[in-house]
Structure 1
Amino acid sequence: MNYQKVANEILYGIGGKENVKSMTHCATRLRFSVHDSSKLQLDSLKKNSNVLGVVDNNGNYQLIIGTEVPHVYKAITIESGEFEETHSSSTSSSSGKESLLDRFLATISAIFTPYIPVLATSGIILGLIAIAVNFGWLTDKSPTYVTLKAAGSAIIYFFPILLAFTAAKRFGANQYIGATIAAVLMEPSLSAILVSGTKLSFLGIPYTAMNFGNTVIPIIIAMWAFGHLEKLLRTYLPKALHFMFIPLISILVMVPLSLMVFGPIGNLLASGIGNVYKFLVDGNVIVFSVIFGAFFIFIIMFGLHWIILPLQLQILSEQGMEYSLAAGGMGNYALLGIALAVLLFSKDKKLKGVAGSAAFVNLVSGITEPTLYGICLKNKRYFLALILGGAAGGLVSGIFGVYIKAFAFTGIIGLPAFAAATEVFPYYLLSVFTSIAVGFGVTAVMDKRVKASLTTVNNVTQPSEAR
């Protein structure tokens, strides 16, 4: 792919660099908003072979690029020379035309997206050492095991510091001060006394302690408050005092407030979410897994997974295991089955080419957009195969109680992370095989029926035309 050429084509399609209000990217999508939607050339973007799909979410647009999106984004910023700065400033403010849901999704996406590859890498490391221990290659007392375990577990334990950095930036505050506030909360001597349920006091004010390690929601709430505090300080403090007094006041105010107010509020929310989740799983884990297997891929398709992902990560960090991330990935494998069936049975050479590359990237790295947008959206009958394949894999996952112990993408690269849950890993593989097989089989049957119908129509119409 010629990244600069693609960048120029995209800039033309979105009305030029002057029309872009903000721009960022995730693992496979270029996300942007514009000043004037009438300047968009969406038809040219949809016809562009390097753009797998175009999504318009109430004025927040997404171009499905695939795994090459970081390079395309970099080429666009080089060409424009201003998007990175524009993104930084514009994301801290909200457009009046955006709905509350759109702004919320954009916020969660901006906070979590930078860490997704690192989270996946962490899961792979934990999976590999679990395999090594099971085969007797390592013992859990060896220095090698301790080192690798630390490499896999560190991001989860210290996640509040990382989240504080991107959350502070998103809320328009100094991200280095935000990370420092979170680091104070994780400081060993302080975290040693922050045992959940213990009664402590600060300047005589009593509060119930909680450990911030492995948490997600409390620090995001704290950084939201910090964003407002810093704006007030910048407004009312003389500029000559900003350099020293904004960090000083921010840390002295936000650390106690995080301990006494925002931490407990976030912990209460997290506990409520955990209780609802436990109720759903305990009620019927099979139904729960079938629903996630069949429909979670559509949640990803519309970008709504940014609402659910923080909750899943919170549950994973608190309970050490999680069901929906295992079952929810079955739709990805159903798409792999669809791509393989199209590759084998389609007579359309261009579609076969798309299916071949789509199947490869899905198999290796779990990237589903090429199949979802390049095949399913153009042949909507395949959505039936997607739903049935995902549901079938979710059913197997639910029957055998498949869960994960580490976050990971689907595909071969992420497979070791799923192996960390050694007790259920064979059943996870069975779920994967079931999703692929059902997606493949339903697609093959539908394609053969379509071909048979076309043949029948041709046999009927040709004689009548001859007469």
Structure 2
Amino acid sequence: MDYQKVASEVLDAIGGKENLEELTHCATRLRFSVNDKSKINEEKLKNNTKILGFVNNNGNYQIIIGPSVQDVYNAIRNTGDLEASGTKNIHTDEAEKKSILDRFLATISAIFTPYIPILATSGIILGLIAIATNFGWLSEESPTYITLNAMGNALLYFFPILLAFTAAKRFGANPFVGATIGAAIMHPSLSGILVSGENVSFLGISYSAMNFANTVIPIIIAMWVFSYTEKFLRTYLPKVLHFMLIPLLSILLMVPLTLMVFGPVGNLFAGWIAALYRFLSDGNLIVFSVVFGVLFIFVIMLGLHWVVLPLQLQILAEQGMEYSLAAGGMGNYALLGIALAVLIFHKDKKMKEVAGSAGFVNLISGITEPTLYGICMKNKRYFLALILGGATGGLVCGVFGIYVKAFAFTGVIGLPAFAAASEVFVYYLIAIFSSITVGFAATYLLDRRQKKESNG
């Protein structure tokens, strides 16, 4: 792919670099907003064969590129000289015009997106460790095991520090001060006395301690409050004192508040989430898994997975296992079955090419957008195959109680992470096979039926 040419075509279709207000990207999509919506040529974007799809979600635009999105993103920034044109890639006042849901999703996305590849990598490392341990190749007491385990668990354990950085940046505060606040609550000498449920005191003020390792909610709340604290200090302190006093007062104020207020409040929210999760999964795990198998791929399409992901990570960190990540991935494998059926049976040469590349990317790395937008959106009947395949895989997950012990993407690369849950891994493979098979068969039958209807 000629990334510079794609960049020029994208900029031309959205009204030029002057019309581009904000530009970011995730694993497969460019996300942007514009100053004047009327200048966007949606047909030009949709008809561009180098673009897999275009989504307009109430003014939050997405262009589906695929695995090469980073290259296209870089090319757009270079081609458009965006800094010179005034384009922003951070939270701006104009965002206030967006709906509360859009702003919330954009915020969660900005905070968590940088860590998704590292989360997946951590899961793979933990899975490989589990495999090596189960086969007796590695002893849990060995320095090698301890080193590898530290690699796999580092991100989740120190998540408060990393999330503090991206959350503070998103909320418009100094991210380095934010990371320092996160590091303070994770300092070994402090975390050693923060045994959850114990009563401790600061300056004579008693509070209920909690351990912040593996948590996500408390530090995000703290950084939101920190952003307003910093703005207050910038407004009322003389400018000559900003350099030293703002970081000093922010740390002196926010660390104790995080320990005594935001930690317990965030822990309370986390407890409610965990209770609701247990109620839903314990009530009927089969229904729970089928629902995730069917719906989670559509949740991803709508961008709402940024609401669910922090909850899944919190549950995984607290309980050491989680069900919905396994069941929710079944839609991905149903899409793989759809791509395989189109590749083998479809008569259109271009569709077969799209199916081949989309299926390969899905198989290896679990990226689904090429199949969703390159195949399913062009033949809405395939969504029935997607639902049936996802439901079947979800059913198998529910029947056998399939769970994960580490965050992972679907696909061959992510399999070691799922293998960490060795007790249910064989059943997980059966669920994968079921989803692919049903997605494949349903697509074949739908195409045959459509052909018969066309022939009259």
Tell me the secondary structure at the aligned position of residue 215 of structure 2: coil
> What's the counterpart of residue 385 of structure 2?
385
> What's the counterpart of residue 88 of structure 2?
87
> What's the counterpart of residue 157 of structure 1?
157
Please report how far the alpha carbon of residue 234 of structure 1 lies from its aligned counterpart in structure 2 after TM superposition: 1.2
**How many Å separate the matches in 2 of 1:83 and 1:337?**
43
> What's the counterpart of residue 288 of structure 1?
288
Q: Is the 8 A contact 1:45 1:54 kept in 2?
A: yes
Please report how far the alpha carbon of residue 424 of structure 1 lies from its aligned counterpart in structure 2 after TM superposition: 0.5
Q: Is the 8 A contact 2:21 2:33 kept in 1?
A: yes
Please report how far the alpha carbon of residue 94 of structure 1 lies from its aligned counterpart in structure 2 after TM superposition: 4.8
1:239-278 matches, within 5 Å, as 239-278=239-278
Tell me the secondary structure at the aligned position of residue 93 of structure 2: coil
1:9-408 matches, within 5 Å, as 9-83=9-83, 86-89=87-90, 91-408=91-408
The one-letter code of the counterpart of 1:118 is I
Which 10-residue stretch deviates more, 229-238 or 183-192?
Answer: 229-238
1:73-110 deviation per Cα after TM superposition (whole angstroms, max 9, x unaligned): 11111122335984344x15352431000000000000
**Where does the alignment leave 5 or more consecutive residues of structure 2 unmatched?**
none
The one-letter code of the counterpart of 1:5 is K
**How many Å separate the matches in 1 of 2:193 and 2:110?**
32
> What's the counterpart of residue 439 of structure 2?
439
The one-letter code of the counterpart of 1:335 is L
Q: Is the 8 A contact 1:122 1:151 kept in 2?
A: yes
Please report how far the alpha carbon of residue 321 of structure 1 lies from its aligned counterpart in structure 2 after TM superposition: 0.4
Identity value in percent: 71
Q: Is the 8 A contact 1:365 1:412 kept in 2?
A: yes
Tell me the secondary structure at the aligned position of residue 22 of structure 1: strand
The one-letter code of the counterpart of 1:346 is H
**How many Å separate the matches in 2 of 1:51 and 1:154?**
37
The one-letter code of the counterpart of 2:14 is I
The one-letter code of the counterpart of 1:58 is N
**How many Å separate the matches in 2 of 1:202 and 1:81?**
51
**How many Å separate the matches in 2 of 1:356 and 1:102?**
34
**How many Å separate the matches in 2 of 1:331 and 1:88?**
32
Q: Is the 8 A contact 1:94 1:103 kept in 2?
A: no
The one-letter code of the counterpart of 1:130 is A
1:194-224 deviation per Cα after TM superposition (whole angstroms, max 9, x unaligned): 1111111111111111111000100000000
Given the superposition, is the C-alpha separation of residues 268 and 94 from structure 1 closer, same or farther in structure 2, using an over 3 Å criterion? farther
Given the superposition, is the C-alpha separation of residues 88 and 353 from structure 1 closer, same or farther in structure 2, using an over 3 Å criterion? closer
The one-letter code of the counterpart of 1:87 is K
Q: Is the 8 A contact 1:22 1:83 kept in 2?
A: no
Q: Is the 8 A contact 1:23 1:83 kept in 2?
A: no
Between Structure 1 and Structure 2, how many residues are aligned? 455
Tell me the secondary structure at the aligned position of residue 284 of structure 2: helix
> What's the counterpart of residue 428 of structure 1?
428
1:384-416 deviation per Cα after TM superposition (whole angstroms, max 9, x unaligned): 000000000000000000000000110000110
**How many Å separate the matches in 2 of 1:438 and 1:158?**
41
**How many Å separate the matches in 1 of 2:4 and 2:89?**
23
Please report how far the alpha carbon of residue 364 of structure 1 lies from its aligned counterpart in structure 2 after TM superposition: 0.4
**How many Å separate the matches in 2 of 1:80 and 1:200?**
55
Please report how far the alpha carbon of residue 453 of structure 1 lies from its aligned counterpart in structure 2 after TM superposition: 2.5
Q: Is the 8 A contact 2:293 2:329 kept in 1?
A: yes
**How many Å separate the matches in 2 of 1:82 and 1:182?**
32
The one-letter code of the counterpart of 1:308 is V
The one-letter code of the counterpart of 2:379 is N
Q: Is the 8 A contact 1:92 1:170 kept in 2?
A: no
RMSD after superposition: 1.1
Q: Is the 8 A contact 2:23 2:88 kept in 1?
A: yes
The one-letter code of the counterpart of 2:368 is T
**Where does the alignment leave 5 or more consecutive residues of structure 1 unmatched?**
458-467
> What's the counterpart of residue 2 of structure 1?
2
Q: Is the 8 A contact 2:24 2:89 kept in 1?
A: no
